[in-house]
Chain A
């Protein structure tokens, strides 16, 4: 079956512009996560959506970052007024939610490489 897909695969933008990154999770997965990997860094948690619950936004680095998940499926990560330090690979992951049954494996998409000039 289809895995997690992300678009675009690459995005080059100028400092100060807004960008939108898209994630299509695996069908039936109720949990969706955004992470980013900056050069030389590990994957950093950004935001987590779980069903109809309020998202966990604790990892968003600034108020220029926002994300939404429409209809419990597709998610869009928006970065406003991009800065050079926003350059990174942005990864989306999805999982089932088997609450109380331990860890739910997260399946990752290929990522979007964002370059801010």
Chain B
């Protein structure tokens, strides 16, 4: 049972344009969501996160939007740069309450290619 889903295995955008990566989840207990970026032969690196009490978090060129009613989040990268080309993983976890755990539940990733 895939609790976190990334339905687009790949995305190609032109340099300077917006990249939008999407993620859906099924477990309503998740209260913290993250995006990780991964280059080949390297471990994932943290990019940006959002708590379930917010609907938007922005950090420079990166913005994450959360729609709890739709159980959907998205990552926007504006403007996209060739160095952004990597695999992006969406992840979710529970950090509050009796069900709190530090386990990250990951999606299958989206390969972003930013064309110069």
Contacts and interface: CB of A to CB of B under 8 A. Distances in A.
A41 B32 CA distance: 21
Give the dominant DSSP class at B's interface: strand
A30 to B, nearest CB: 11
Among A4, A45, A48, chain B packs the most CB atoms within 10 A around the CB of A45
B21 interface: no
A110 B43 contact: yes
Contacts of B80: none
Interface residues of A, number: 28
B38 to A, nearest CB: 9
A105 B44 CA distance: 12
Contacts of A108: 36, 43-45
Given A48-B102, A95-B102, A42 B42 contact: no
B106 interface: yes
B18 interface: no
Nearest to A40: B108
Contacts of A65: none
Contact of A43 (B41, B46, B89): B89
A33 B43 CA distance: 13
